[in-house]
């Protein structure tokens, strides 16, 4: 057993039960462990040739899922998981919801004990600074480390608003810091009415915080649900006391105040910048990889020979997706590609968002010019939006209507005629 000290939790304390047989977790400058490994695994009558080791950079959802899918698919070689943060992999969606409201502790993706079963070397607080794809070497602060196969899963970093020195919400530490400021009666100004901004607004209102939600676009979630459905989202927030400032920008911040381009002065004790995220690719400049709104990859996630990318940092076939489910699917497809196995089929894009007592769920990838059909579904008349292009279904968004939305996966994949879907769902 090779162990470093237990990495600190968000309050500075250790995670606790790290000393388990077979678990290898290192903090910062732990030893670089090189166990002997077989170079292939027998699966039925077929031997799958594999690299001696796989190094995964990024200990978030996509990175951990890559490790899990490699093991699930039979890989027995050495796996190293490097994470820049001092925490074990955790789930990000709860940060703007349950964690921010104080209803949940750190949302670990796996308990510390469970890593022993993966037989993975987890190196925490290990930021990778440089990649040399030709020499197949990565550089950290203190070492140059060779790799056989590399998977990049470094995610994304929050975009910032010029002239505003606000907080951001991307990491567990960010959520913990923000939660400590959200006292009843506090005044929170949120710049950006996307998923994070809207969820943070809903969470803050549940804590008795006064909220102003600001966006340069004309409606909340407009890039996700389109101009018609975003009006329903706006109504939801107004009904819960959120003050919306749409079609205007934040221009500067000062003590207790935020100035908007339309001349409005918003009183604010806390300012949260929630204007999206940029792929974490700065460390890859000069790496011989192609970078264009992420690491450019083919349909198997391959960025270069022996190099793959998954999750928020990866741009597959000209498209980058930050949806939670996409990270898992890409991780499985890359694991299959590394092992030379049959690739899993693409899955319909899926997202969800908890706001107040409503769970928004979306399927598919409708275009901005798609037709929108709003229906009241079921005995409780739940709102469902169906999107169509050339009279064929392209997507769906439901307001606490999971049973209606989730049954449409096959219809979206097949492009079922919208009339047929409406006849099935509408009363």
pLDDT in tens, 179-234: 999 999 999 999 999 999 999 999 999 999 999 999 999 999 999 999 999 999 99
Rounded CA gap, 3 and 30, in Å? 8
β strands within 59-191, DSSP E:
78-83, 121-124, 128-132, 137-140, 144-146, 149-152, 156-158, 187-191
348 lies in some domain: no
**Are both 193 and 226 inside the same structural domain?**
yes
pLDDT of residue 8: 39
pLDDT of residue 20: 33
**Are both 233 and 316 inside the same structural domain?**
no
pLDDT of residue 403: 95
pLDDT of residue 252: 87
413 lies in some domain: yes
pLDDT of residue 23: 44
Using the predicted structure, report yes or no on whether residue 131 has a pLDDT greater than 80.
Answer: yes
Rounded CA gap, 201 and 189, in Å? 9
51 lies in some domain: yes
Q: 5-34: per-residue pLDDT in tens?
A: 333 333 333 333 333 333 455 443 333 333
What average pLDDT does the chain have?
A: 88
| Range(s) of the domain holding residue 382 | 357-425
**Are both 177 and 210 inside the same structural domain?**
yes
**Are both 175 and 153 inside the same structural domain?**
no
**Are both 128 and 97 inside the same structural domain?**
yes
**Are both 201 and 257 inside the same structural domain?**
yes
Q: 282-295: per-residue pLDDT in tens?
A: 999 989 999 999 99
pLDDT of residue 185: 97
Looking at the chain, the whole-number percentage of residues with pLDDT higher than 70 is 88
From first CA to last CA, the distance across the chain in angstroms is 62
**Are both 152 and 296 inside the same structural domain?**
yes
14 lies in some domain: no
Using the predicted structure, report yes or no on whether residue 4 has a pLDDT greater than 60.
Answer: no
Mean pLDDT in residue range 142-156: 95
Rounded CA gap, 22 and 237, in Å? 49
**Are both 283 and 376 inside the same structural domain?**
no
Cα distances (angstroms) measured from residue 419 to each of 375, 393, 408: 13, 9, 14
pLDDT of residue 46: 34
Rounded CA gap, 414 and 400, in Å? 24
Chain length of the chain: 427
Question: Can you give the CATH number for the domain in which 66 is found?
Answer: 3.50.50.60
**Are both 254 and 133 inside the same structural domain?**
no
pTM of the model: 0.87
8 lies in some domain: no
Q: 310-365: per-residue pLDDT in tens?
A: 999 999 999 999 989 999 999 999 999 999 999 998 888 899 999 999 999 999 98
Domain count, the chain: 3
164 lies in some domain: yes
257 lies in some domain: yes
| Token representation of residue 289 | 């990889």
| Token representation of residue 217 | 């676009």
**Are both 36 and 58 inside the same structural domain?**
yes
Using the predicted structure, report yes or no on whether residue 40 has a pLDDT greater than 80.
Answer: no
Mean pLDDT in residue range 74-85: 95
**Are both 151 and 283 inside the same structural domain?**
yes
**Are both 303 and 414 inside the same structural domain?**
no
């Amino acid at each position: 057993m090779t162990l470093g000290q237990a990495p600190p939790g968000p309050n500075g304390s250790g995670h606790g039960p790290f000393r388990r047989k077979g678990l290898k977790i290192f903090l910062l400058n732990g030893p670089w462990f090189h166990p002997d490994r077989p170079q292939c695994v027998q699966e039925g009558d077929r031997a799958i040739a594999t690299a001696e080791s796989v190094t995964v950079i990024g200990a978030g959802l996509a990175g951990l899922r890559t490790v899990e899918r490699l093991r699930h698919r039979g890989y027995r070689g050495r796996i190293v998981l490097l994470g820049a943060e001092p925490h074990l992999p955790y789930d990000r969606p709860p940060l703007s919801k349950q964690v921010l409201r104080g209803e949940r502790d750190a949302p670990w993706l796996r308990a510390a004990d469970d890593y022993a079963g993966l037989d993975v070397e987890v190196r925490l607080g290990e930021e990778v600074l440089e990649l040399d794809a030709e020499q197949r070497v990565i550089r950290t602060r203190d070492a140059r480390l060779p790799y056989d196969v590399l998977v990049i899963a470094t995610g994304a970093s929050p975009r910032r608003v010029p002239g505003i020195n606000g907080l951001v919400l991307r990491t567990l530490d960010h959520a913990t810091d923000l939660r400590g400021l959200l006292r009843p009666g506090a005044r929170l100004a949120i710049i950006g009415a996307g998923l994070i901004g809207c969820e943070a607004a809903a969470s803050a209102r549940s804590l008795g915080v006064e909220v102003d939600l600001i966006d340069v676009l004309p409606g909340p979630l407009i890039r996700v649900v389109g101009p018609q459905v975003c009006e329903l989202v706006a109504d939801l927030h107004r009904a819960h006391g959120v003050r919306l400032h749409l079609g205007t920008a934040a221009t500067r911040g000062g003590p207790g105040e935020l100035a908007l381009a339309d001349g409005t002065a918003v009183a604010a004790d806390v300012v949260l910048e929630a204007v999206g995220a940029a792929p974490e690719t700065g460390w890859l400049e000069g790496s011989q990889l192609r970078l264009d709104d992420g690491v450019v990859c083919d349909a198997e996630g391959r960025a270069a020979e022996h190099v793959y990318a998954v999750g928020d940092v990866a741009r597959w076939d000209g498209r980058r997706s930050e949806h939670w489910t996409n990270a898992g699917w890409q991780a499985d497809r890359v694991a299959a590609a590394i092992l030379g196995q049959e690739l899993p089929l693409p899955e319909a894009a899926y997202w969800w968002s908890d706001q107040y007592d409503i769970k928004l769920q979306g399927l598919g990838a409708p275009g901005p010019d798609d037709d929108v059909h709003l229906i009241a579904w079921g005995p409780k008349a739940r709102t469902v939006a169906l999107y169509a292009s050339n009279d064929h279904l392209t997507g769906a968004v439901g307001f606490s209507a999971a049973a209606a939305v989730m049954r449409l996966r096959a219809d979206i994949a097949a492009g079922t005629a919208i009339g047929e879907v409406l006849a099935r769902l509408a009363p």
